[in-house]
Amino acid sequence: MRSINFLAGILFLFLVQAAQAQDPGSNPVAVDTSAVPPKDTIIPYWNVKGMNLNANFSNSSYSRWVAGGINSISMTGLFTGFIMHDGKRFAWSNYLLYSLGAVKQQKMPTFRKTDDRIIIISKWSYKHTEKVRYTAMVDFRTQTLYGYNYPTLQSDSGRTITSGFFAPAYLQTSLGIEWKPKKWFYVLYSPIASKYTFVFNDSLSAQKAFGLENAGDHVRGEYFGTSLNARITLDQVVKNVSFVSNLNLFSNYVFDIKHHVAVDVNWDNILTFKVNKIISANWTWSMIYDEDVLQLSSPNDPNSAKHPYVQWKNVLGIGVTIKLGQEYKDQ
């Protein structure tokens, strides 16, 4: 009898609890949601940002124009993109730039290249403090098409090859300390760095171009050196104007001991003027100095002396920009 009464009591309590659960006025069970972050605050492992494709086109044509002019067509394409991971301790950022341009004027028989760059930079960092990181970086640069020296504007005959795909290509590795006082600025000093120059073109290799030590070589290694890399990324210099500047310096310890202090310089800049969501203008300018790159003092005289020179290039274009990702903000 006692067991029956006990089971009846259990059944009664169960029915009471079931009735309370069905009652809409009853208090629901409290659930702690503080441990679950809002959906919009969850940081993905990889962030794809600053993926921009810019295409510029210009055309000039004249007919009986008394003031004079030359018919011309020019095209330039620029792609930039960032893929990054930023964790509590580790950060990995990857940057890609590809630019290609060509122009054809009235007296030119074919299009001639005005811009051709491939830049890939991958940087891995371990955060020591908020402003100091231990960083390893890989910097790779080359181009896609042949570059030529043209004796005349009207003809392609007699042109000579000055560069090509993987001729040259530069691979630089660096290990050092990064100082980042602001989100938009960092300086990376690497006391341990190396640089490799690849020339996979037989005619340029035979000329010992780009610092090759022997005719027929295709790779030149500078194994012991130091480097300094600085970067500025401003999303808004003023309204609708952004700016990115990257400076890379490299010096070979061994070469410096034998001769003098020689510093390779690569400085790239992009200034973007945003008109609206589609139309924008880009002004890119670059400066290169490498004592291993010798050029004729008189380009049209193959017997003239060769010396290293400062190389300058700037391209201004207005065209269509297609955004393929979020706005870039350096991590």
120 against 149, higher pLDDT = 120
Q: Is 218 left (phi over 0), alpha (psi -120 to 50) or beta?
A: alpha
Q: 171 is written with which tokens?
A: 């691979």
- Identify the structural domains of the chain with CATH numbers, from first to last: 49-323 (2.40.230)
Burial class (CB in 10 A: 0-12, 13-18, 19+), 68: exposed
Predicted TM-score (pTM) of the model is 0.80
State the pLDDT at residue 111.
Answer: 92
Which amino acid is present at 120? I
Pairing, β 90-105 against β 72-86 = antiparallel
Give residue 74's pLDDT: 93
pLDDT at 44: 59
β pairing state of 219-238 and 185-198? antiparallel
For 14-38, what is the mean pLDDT?
A: 47
pLDDT tens per residue across span 198-238: 999 999 999 999 989 999 999 999 999 999 999 999 988 99
Integer CA distances (angstroms), 38 to 5, 11, 33, 98, 280, in order: 50, 41, 10, 37, 35
Examine the pLDDT at 186 and tell me if it is beyond 50. Answer: yes
Greatest mean pLDDT range, 56-70, 140-154, 310-324: 140-154
Return mean pLDDT, the chain.
83
Whether omega for the bond prior to residue 168 falls within 30 degrees of 0, making it cis, is yes
Place of tokens 């006990």: 6
> With pLDDT > 70 as the criterion, what percentage of the chain qualifies?
82
Query: Can you read off the two tokens belonging to residue 103?
Result: 């122009």
The confidence score (pLDDT) of residue 59 equals 87
pLDDT of residue 246: 95
Range of 12-26, 43-57, 267-281, 314-328 with top mean pLDDT: 267-281
Q: Are strands 185-198 and 169-182 parallel, antiparallel or unpaired?
A: antiparallel
